[in-house]
């Protein structure tokens, strides 16, 4: 009368009743609720971390943009300073070259004036010597002395005027 399937059905029903009696479904639901709660907490924590990360990323990007602006400003100022220094250096070099050119011109002019003065002096001395020789050869002694004295006085005056 009772075959194996009947006994399997009965044991299954007893098993289900036993499980319900022992409150296993409530226990399983509590465990599932606990896991759901834990997962919700982890999700909330992950969302908070994501929010904080985005906030930090935004701050860092702001600082990066600010540092880029500062870098660009520093480069602009450095370029301006460099250009000013180059202009100042060019101006100094130009003035230095002009001063050296002026000094060289002055030295050349001075050397020219010294040479002309030296030539005049030597020409005067040669002329005096020549005049002396001519006079000595052509005049008698008394006349020579008078003329020599006169010429010497004139030559001395001329030399004083030249120097």
pTM exceeds cut of 0.75: no
For 113-130, the pLDDT digits (tens) are 988 888 888 888 887 787
Q: Is the dihedral of CA 56, 60, 62, 63 positive or negative?
A: positive
pLDDT in tens, 13-25: 888 777 767 776 7
Whether the pLDDT of residue 79 is over 80: the answer is yes
Q: How far is CA 43 from CA 1, 35, 57, in A?
A: 58, 12, 20
Give the C-alpha separation, 25 to 30, whole Å: 8
Q: What is the pLDDT of residues 92-151, one digit of tens each?
A: 999 999 999 999 999 999 999 988 888 888 888 887 787 777 766 766 667 767 777 888
Whether 80 shows a pLDDT value over 90: the answer reads yes
Distance CA 143, CA 135 (A): 9
Helical ranges in the chain per DSSP H: 4-21, 24-138, 141-162
Averaged confidence pLDDT in the chain? 86
Task: Give the whole-angstrom CA distance, residue 97 versus residue 99.
Answer: 5
């Amino acid at each position: 009368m009772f075959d194996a399937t009947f006994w399997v059905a009965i044991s299954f029903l007893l098993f289900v009743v036993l499980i319900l009696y022992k409150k296993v479904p409530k226990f399983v639901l509590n465990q599932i609720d606990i896991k759901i709660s834990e997962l919700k907490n982890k999700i909330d924590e992950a969302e908070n971390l994501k929010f904080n990360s985005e906030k930090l990323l935004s701050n860092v990007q702001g600082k990066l943009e600010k540092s880029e602006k500062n870098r660009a400003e520093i480069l602009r100022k450095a370029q301006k300073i460099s250009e000013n220094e180059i202009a100042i250096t060019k101006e100094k070099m130009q003035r230095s070259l002009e001063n050296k050119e002026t000094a060289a011109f002055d030295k050349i002019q001075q050397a020219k004036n010294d040479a002309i003065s030296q030539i005049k002096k030597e020409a005067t001395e040669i002329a005096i010597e020549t005049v002396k020789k001519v006079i000595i050869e052509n005049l008698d002694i008394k006349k020579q002395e008078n003329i020599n004295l006169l010429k010497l006085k004139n030559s001395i005056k001329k030399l004083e005027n030249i120097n």
